[in-house]
Amino acid sequence: MNFRKVVGLFAMVICCSGVLAAQFPPLTIVDEALPALDANVEFHVLLRASGGAPPYVWSVVDGELPEGVTLSPEGLLAGRPSKPGPFTVTLKVEDSAHPAHNFSKEFTGVVTSSLLLEWLDSPKVHDNRIDGVAMVSNGSKESFDLTVVIVAVADNGRATAIGYEHFVLKAGESNVKILFGNTLPHGAYVIHADAIAEIASRNTILRQRLQTPEALKVVPGP
């Protein structure tokens, strides 16, 4: 093969490569919004892009995903959001062309809380008792079966139940009071309150926990 033919073939390859590159449809992120996120509920969603030259590589270029949520290079958005609240994040997808194309898009969202457990009256010592009031709310559109257990854990690890409720919390119902309290031997106690909700229609279990920041001391009476 003479030099002119080699040059001609080389030019043809370059030309054809340019045509093929030009024929790639524009790269874009297909998803209009991120999925609905619920605090303490695990999820897995594969993000979608189109155009360009697959495979794609995904990354976060601005802002932050909710705490407890990660994005893999393959576009798998997954995790268990740890707390409710709004967020704004910019995601970028890059294709495998040479040179690579990329496309970025800003997403805003809110991590909601289907189950909310709060102290209405935080645990306090009264003589040889520890009493308080917790409060539960259902921020979802579905009723769920709810169990609330409150225990006092002594410094030796022994747990004593000081409150228990089991009932159906209706959709949208909020600020339902859970009174608790019991007499206890003298000692130091950390109070744990656990709420477990079962949503049968979604085969989902929601959990929330409260804990006193320090031990409460029950001292012997006079």
> Is 200 in the same domain as 137?
yes
On whether residue 1 sits in a domain, the answer given is: no
Give the pTM.
0.65
What pLDDT does 23 receive?
A: 75
187: left (phi over 0), alpha (psi -120 to 50) or beta: left
Give the C-alpha separation, 109 to 112, whole Å.
Answer: 9
On whether residue 189 sits in a domain, the answer given is: yes
What pLDDT does 10 receive?
A: 40
Residue type, 52: G
> Is 128 in the same domain as 39?
no
Domain boundary among 112, 134, 150: 112
> Is 37 in the same domain as 104?
yes
Q: Which two tokens stand for residue 185?
A: 């031997």
What residues make up the domain containing 98?
25-112
Average pLDDT, the chain: 89
> Is 103 in the same domain as 122?
no
For the chain, which ranges sit under pLDDT 50? 3, 5-21
Domain count for the chain: 2
What is the per-residue pLDDT across 54-65, written as a single tens digit (0 to 9) for each?
999 999 999 999
Q: Domain of 68: which CATH number?
A: 2.60.40.10
> Is 144 in the same domain as 213?
yes
What is the per-residue pLDDT across 135-150, written as a single tens digit (0 to 9) for each?
999 988 889 999 999 9
Give the C-alpha separation, 187 to 145, whole Å.
Answer: 34
**Dihedral angle, C-alpha 83, 160, 145, 37, nearest 10 °:** 10
